[in-house]
Amino acid sequence: MSPLLRSVGERGSGAPGAVAELGRDEALAVLFRAHCADLVRLGYALTGDRGAAEEAVQDAFFSLHRNWRSLRDRSAMHAYLRAAVVNRCRSVHRRRARRVVDTEPLRPELVSRPGVDAEALAHEASMRIAGQVRDLPQRQREVIVCRYYLDLTERQTADLLQVSVGSVKKHASRALAALHERMEVAP
C-alpha cells in the first residue's frame, strides 16, 4: 500500500455542513480521511497509473490548502477536490501525449494466467473492461468514469467536467458504442 493511502487510516465523516464549520487544517484532515481513497480510485480510473492518481490527489489537497481563504462555498470542498483531481488527470494525459514512448507490447508467453476460478475470471473480465475504457479518447473515458464508476447523473457529470449535458450524452453514447464493438470483437 502506498504511503498516501496508508496515511488515510480510519475514514472520518466528510459531511459538507460539518466540514464547512471547521478550521482549515481540521477540515482538510476530515476531508482527507473521508475522501482520499475514493479520489485516488477516481484518478486511477482516469489515468491507469496509481502513482499519477496519488500525485493528482495530493496536488488537489495542496491546492485546496493554499487557496483556502479564496473559497466561496466551503460546503462544496469535496466537489472542488473531485474537479481538481479530474483536471490534474487531464494534465497527465497532456504530458503523456507530448512524450512519445516506444513500448514493446507484453508477449503472451510472459503473461501468467490465473486458475479457472469464478473470482479470477471476474477479475480478468474487469481488467479487460478497464483496459478498454483506458483506450477510449479522453473525454469519453472521463464521461464513462463519472457516469458508471462515480454513479453521477448526466447533470452532475456535466458540471464536474464543465461541459453541457448534451456533450455528456454524446460522449457516453459514443464510448458505449465503441466499448460494445471492441468487446464483441475481442476474444
pLDDT single digits (tens) 134-151: 889 989 999 998 888 888
Cα separation of 184 and 173, whole Å? 16
Q: Is residue 108 part of a domain?
A: no
pLDDT tens readout for residues 49-63: 888 889 999 999 999
| Least confident interval from 37-51, 91-105, 143-157 | 91-105
Q: Provide the domain count of the chain.
A: 2
Are 87 and 161 part of one and the same domain?
no
* Residues counted in the chain: 187
Q: pTM of the full predicted structure?
A: 0.56
Are 123 and 37 part of one and the same domain?
no
Cα separation of 3 and 22, whole Å? 26
Q: Please answer whether residues 22 and 42 qualify as being in contact, where contact means their C-beta atoms are separated by less than 8 angstroms.
A: no
Q: Is residue 55 part of a domain?
A: yes
Are 38 and 66 part of one and the same domain?
yes
